[in-house]
Amino acid sequence: MSWTRKDLLDLQSLTAEEIQTVLETARAFKAVGERVIKKVPALHGKTVVNLFVEPSTRTRTSFQLAAQRLSADIINFTAEASSLKKGETLKDTARNLEALNADFIVIRHSAAGAPHFLARVLQAHVVNAGDGAHEHPTQGLLDLFTMLEKKGRLAGLQVTILGDILYSRVARSNIWGLQKLGAQVTLCGPPTLVPRSFAELGCRVTHVLEEAIEAADVINLLRIQHERQRKSMFPSLGEYTSLFGINRQRLAAAKPDVLIMHPGPINRGVEVDSEVADGEQSVILEQVTNGLAIRMAALFLLNGGKAPQPAPAG
Amino acid sequence: MSWTRKDLLDLQSLTAEEIQTVLETARAFKAVGERVIKKVPALHGKTVVNLFVEPSTRTRTSFQLAAQRLSADIINFTAEASSLKKGETLKDTARNLEALNADFIVIRHSAAGAPHFLARVLQAHVVNAGDGAHEHPTQGLLDLFTMLEKKGRLAGLQVTILGDILYSRVARSNIWGLQKLGAQVTLCGPPTLVPRSFAELGCRVTHVLEEAIEAADVINLLRIQHERQRKSMFPSLGEYTSLFGINRQRLAAAKPDVLIMHPGPINRGVEVDSEVADGEQSVILEQVTNGLAIRMAALFLLNGGKAPQPAPAG
Amino acid sequence: MSWTRKDLLDLQSLTAEEIQTVLETARAFKAVGERVIKKVPALHGKTVVNLFVEPSTRTRTSFQLAAQRLSADIINFTAEASSLKKGETLKDTARNLEALNADFIVIRHSAAGAPHFLARVLQAHVVNAGDGAHEHPTQGLLDLFTMLEKKGRLAGLQVTILGDILYSRVARSNIWGLQKLGAQVTLCGPPTLVPRSFAELGCRVTHVLEEAIEAADVINLLRIQHERQRKSMFPSLGEYTSLFGINRQRLAAAKPDVLIMHPGPINRGVEVDSEVADGEQSVILEQVTNGLAIRMAALFLLNGGKAPQPAPAG
């Protein structure tokens, strides 16, 4: 149950046991967030750099709070402000941050593999906060954590991921993590965004919403990214909503205790109605709270912290 | 003298006693700013979020320093950087911040009432850092604090507020606070910016500068906001300055010990001359120092801190 | 060996002894950066403001980390965000920051002399983080520190500075500091960027690369600033590189143990080849690490901290 990796880059390369170690450690840190004093001294004197070359307020803020609550110092280093605009390479930027004694580099980048590249050239711990359409491992872990907390198990759980699977790093991290821990994954959305080839990863693929939700224990909705979606792939928002948008009426065909999840921010009225997003099946805000616990756990373990004794869950 | 409110939203709804509690607490915190070590552990482990949907460097910096000096963790969450641009609603943003265990949301927003709305939907403490043309309660409190400190009393004090009253949240918070503590308020400026209807609030209204300053103990100048003022209301800066700009010559008609106040930043040569702004009647920089003490007091009291024993002032 | 200055504005006005005091103090702080806990409580409760009116991520981040490691609170106050856009003068901005109890103002400004102006009007300690084409004293100090650490002495050292000398504040701070400590400085680059008049400062001036590097113990490369260089002064990047770009072939004419230095960020393939920048003579990343130690030392000494007992170096 001990953690030996220098970096957290993806869920594809983690073992089921390593994933469980993070989940169990996060459970302990979630309790910290409920205390009056929400800080522990674990990373006192350490420096965490948020290197966000692609904008993100939520994930950056979550990592910042995680670092603060572990008593680390934190530097936000965004692309707009950075020397990357002056033609400096990512490698030079990262090496300079390491030369400033950075202990952790949390990186978000539009290029898949950028965190893996940094992990090879740096001695600092590298945490992938989202790389292109590849992976977003802390999002995957917080999704697993939330499902486990709410459903009591991951093995045998029926999880449907709905939306733009093709370009989603959230979907990929979910797929790897869920399958390693024994859940069964169904992917659903328009054929252009959910190619049959995903079946090779062991997922069930369907383009019919009813088939995707009837047996689901969890429906994980992906954000429709207006700003990024290619036109040729994606006819119109109205058409997407009419075919795949989740509302109360459609949810009547699902199990009564189905969990509704979403990585946020929500497009209300597009991929999900407000009635459902704010309803009692929704755990969207708990995902946010759990994300903080997962990120504290990740930084803590990478720093050499010891995982708590495993509970008999999983 | 104890404080029981969850939020600090406006001065209109506070009692005179509550306002005095903040002023007395700020007096104690002002002394902290003069120590070698300017920190107290009162908010250790708490998280303060600066949610500024309208830009402001000074007020945001003042709240940031106030939080730091109370040993809180602080997150700056500006509109440019935020998901509000991705179409997320204010409510979703605020709920997400709360899900990250934020204890305080300090909000500036162009819509009047935005802080009140958040206060209803959140468990976190909400502090209004300026909402549209409605109120800016910490500015009002720091103005009262400065007048009390310099004049020894508020009851019976003659205070003139000069400039664009119609669109000023600073004016409104001053009017409410000053009247509750027994000061007499005169409003002055061009007729388009100082409508007679303000007399219904109990203020004296005049459009003649001489009438406004002759008996004044305090002249509180408002910033002329080039960037916001509607053209139809406001003929030209030159005309404003020629009629209402404060210079040494005009000040000769005022009491020799009149206080010159301004919320900053000053437009030198527009609403006030440099000679007056930097002169010995000016307390503009002390207002800045006092603002920090007021904001520390506000965060401290909202957090459940106990006000000091009241001094016999007021 | 004690430090008595309120501000750190330039190297021109420092004595050799004062420069040595900073270098010796930095040596002690460099050791702090190598500890597990990289913090000391020296500036606990003090506030450092980074007032960057000209953008810079690296220097700002270095000062931010230096302040954090001394346990100070830090405020980043950038030009984009600031009231300077609203027409507020630099003096008003700085006085407001002082009124917020700022103990240190670290300023970068495009106008030469801006830090000296602030130092006269403020009680806060002012640190020049680069003013126009005038000086960048902490860069000069870190360059001296690096040379001393690697070569064991500064007296008698042959240092070549290569590039756009005319507009470089890094060059000026190097020239003053190196000459005070007894090094011999050679300046090299195109005649339009390296005027003969620099010989009056006691430097050797040459426009022939071979003459500049053959006897050099150190080659300090300046960044070619595409974005700033006037066209009339600077024909083309290709021409610069062909005449003055440093590559392995050209370096064959230098001493085998010559140090290659650069203030960063590097333009790979312009002023220096990757093979040289990443080669074993390069100490570019160590300069970054040393910059943090120099900035900690500067803040510490300005705050009244005592320099360590001098080692027999220099």
**pLDDT for C254:** 97
HSE of B35, CA atoms in CB hemisphere, 13 A: 13
**Within a domain: A21:** yes
Same domain, A204 and A131: no
- Cβ pair A49, B57 in contact under 8 A: no
Distances in whole angstroms, Cα of residue C282 to Cα of each of A98, A120, C218: 16, 21, 10
Residue B241 to chain A, least CA–CA distance (Å): 39
Residue A250 to chain C, least CA–CA distance (Å): 47
**Within a domain: A6:** no
The pLDDT of B93-113, averaged and rounded, is 94
| Both tokens assigned to A75 | 């530097």
pLDDT digits 0-9 by tens, C224-274: 876 555 556 666 888 899 999 999 999 999 999 999 999 998 989 999 999
Residue A73 to chain C, least CA–CA distance (Å): 7
Burial B219-253 (b: 16+ CB within 10 A, else e): bbbbbbeeeeeeeeebeebeebbeebbbeeeebee
**Within a domain: C144:** yes
CB contact under 8 A, B96 and A65: no
The pLDDT of B188-207, averaged and rounded, is 94
**Within a domain: B201:** yes
The number of residues in chain A equals: 314
Nearest Cα to Cα of residue B131 among B285, B302, B6, B11: B11
The pLDDT of C284-308, averaged and rounded, is 95
Angle between helices A137-151 and A16-33 (to 10 degrees): 80
Same domain, B144 and B261: yes
Task: Round the CA-based radius of gyration of chain C to a whole number and report it.
Answer: 19
Q: Taking all residues of chain B, what is their mean pLDDT, rounded to a whole number?
A: 91
Residues of C in contact with B267 (CB under 8 A): 87
Residues of A in contact with C62 (CB under 8 A): 100
Residue B259 to chain A, least CA–CA distance (Å): 42
pLDDT digits 0-9 by tens, A135-175: 999 999 999 999 999 999 999 999 999 999 999 999 999 99
Same domain, B176 and B273: yes
Dihedral of alpha carbons C11, C156, C262, C295, sign: negative
DSSP chain C: -----S-B--STTS-HHHHHHHHHHHHHHHHHTTSSS----TTTT-EEEEEESS--HHHHHHHHHHHHHTT-EEEEEETTTSGGGGT--HHHHHHHHHHTT-SEEEEEESSTTHHHHHHHH-SSEEEEEEETTTB-HHHHHHHHHHHHHHHS--TT-EEEEES--TT-HHHHHHHHHHHHTT-EEEEES-TTTS-GGGGGGT-EEES-HHHHHTT-SEEEEPPP-TTT--GGG---HHHHHHHH-B-HHHHTTS-TTPEEE--S---BTTTB-HHHHTSTTB-HHHHHHHHHHHHHHHHHHHTTPPPPPPPS--
Mutation for testing the A interface, residue in B50, B77, B92 having most A CBs under 10 Å? B92
CB contact under 8 A, B64 and C75: yes
Nearest Cα to Cα of residue C136 among C225, C11, C249: C11
Residue A79 has pLDDT above 70, yes or no: no
Q: CATH no. for residue C150? A: 3.40.50.1370
- Cβ pair C54, C79 in contact under 8 A: yes
A228/B126: higher pLDDT? B126
Coil vs helix vs strand at B94: helix
Range list of β-strands (E), B71-116: 73-78, 104-109
Same domain, C142 and C277: yes
Instruction: Name chain A's partners: 3 or more CB pairs within 8 A.
Output: B, C
Residues of B in contact with A226 (CB under 8 A): 87
Same domain, A269 and A159: yes
- The least confident of B95-104, C5-14, C28-37, C104-113 is C28-37
**Within a domain: B237:** yes
C102/B34: higher pLDDT? C102
- Cβ pair B26, B145 in contact under 8 A: yes
- Cβ pair B125, B17 in contact under 8 A: no
Residues of B in contact with A68 (CB under 8 A): 47, 73
Domain tally, chain B: 2
> How many Cβ atoms from other residues are within 10 Å of residue A42's Cβ?
18
Same domain, B120 and B20: yes
| Both tokens assigned to C211 | 């003459």
pLDDT digits 0-9 by tens, C17-55: 999 999 999 999 998 877 877 899 999 999 999 999 887
DSSP β-bridge partners for residue C108: C52
CB contact under 8 A, A47 and C68: yes
Residue C312 has pLDDT above 50, yes or no: no
Distances in whole angstroms, Cα of residue B186 to Cα of each of B199, B209, C31: 9, 11, 62
Distances in whole angstroms, Cα of residue C96 to Cα of each of A20, B26, B279: 52, 19, 16
What is the DSSP code (8-state) at residue B80?
Answer: T
CB contact under 8 A, C45 and B33: no
pLDDT digits 0-9 by tens, A17-40: 999 999 999 999 998 877 777 899
Chain B residues in contact with chain C using a Cβ-Cβ cutoff of 8 Å? 33, 35-39, 55, 57-58, 61-62, 64-65, 68-69, 226-227, 264-268, 285-286, 288-289, 292
DSSP β-bridge partners for residue B128: B107
C-alpha B182/C-alpha B158 separation (Å) is: 10
- Cβ pair A128, A189 in contact under 8 A: no
Residue B60 has pLDDT above 50, yes or no: yes
Residue C81 has pLDDT above 50, yes or no: no
Q: Taking all residues of chain C, what is their mean pLDDT, rounded to a whole number?
A: 91
Spatial strand order of the sheet with A47-52 comes to A73-78, A47-52, A104-109, A125-131
Nearest residue of B to residue C76, measured between CA atoms: B61
The pLDDT of B232-254, averaged and rounded, is 88
Same domain, C21 and C141: no
Coil vs helix vs strand at B172: helix
Mutation for testing the A interface, residue in B96, B103, B121 having most A CBs under 10 Å? B96
C-alpha A15/C-alpha A177 separation (Å) is: 9
Domain around C63: 16-136+290-302
Q: How many CB pairs under 8 A join A and C?
A: 63
Residue B42 to chain A, least CA–CA distance (Å): 11
The pLDDT of B136-165, averaged and rounded, is 97
Chain A residues in contact with chain B using a Cβ-Cβ cutoff of 8 Å? 33, 35-39, 55, 57-58, 61-62, 64-65, 68-69, 226-227, 264-268, 285-286, 288-289, 292
DSSP B21-68: HHHHHHHHHHHHHTSSS----TTTT-EEEEEESS--HHHHHHHHHHHH
C-alpha C56/C-alpha B67 separation (Å) is: 26
**Within a domain: B307:** no
Same domain, B158 and B294: no
Nearest residue of C to residue A84, measured between CA atoms: C265
Same domain, C202 and C221: yes
B171/C91: higher pLDDT? B171
CB contact under 8 A, C289 and A73: no
Angle between helices A284-302 and A16-33 (to 10 degrees): 110
- Cβ pair C105, C94 in contact under 8 A: yes
CB contact under 8 A, B37 and C47: no
**pLDDT for C36:** 74
Distances in whole angstroms, Cα of residue B12 to Cα of each of B8, B189, B289: 11, 23, 24
Question: Which among B65, B267, B286 is the nearest to C47, CB-wise?
Answer: B65
**Within a domain: C307:** no
**Within a domain: C111:** yes
Mutation for testing the A interface, residue in C37, C50, C61 having most A CBs under 10 Å? C61
Question: Which among A38, A226, A288 is the nearest to B96, CB-wise?
Answer: A288
Same domain, C273 and C162: yes
| Reported confidence tier of residue A97, pLDDT bands at 50, 70, 90 | very high
Question: Which among A36, A37, A62 is the nearest to B100, CB-wise?
Answer: A62
Residue B173 has pLDDT above 50, yes or no: yes
Residue A58 to chain C, least CA–CA distance (Å): 21
Same domain, C131 and C236: no
Same domain, B121 and B230: no
Nearest residue of B to residue C94, measured between CA atoms: B285
What is the DSSP code (8-state) at residue B14?
Answer: S
Chain C residues in contact with chain B using a Cβ-Cβ cutoff of 8 Å? 44-47, 73, 75, 77, 81-83, 86-89, 92-93, 95-101
DSSP β-bridge partners for residue C282: C260
**pLDDT for C77:** 86
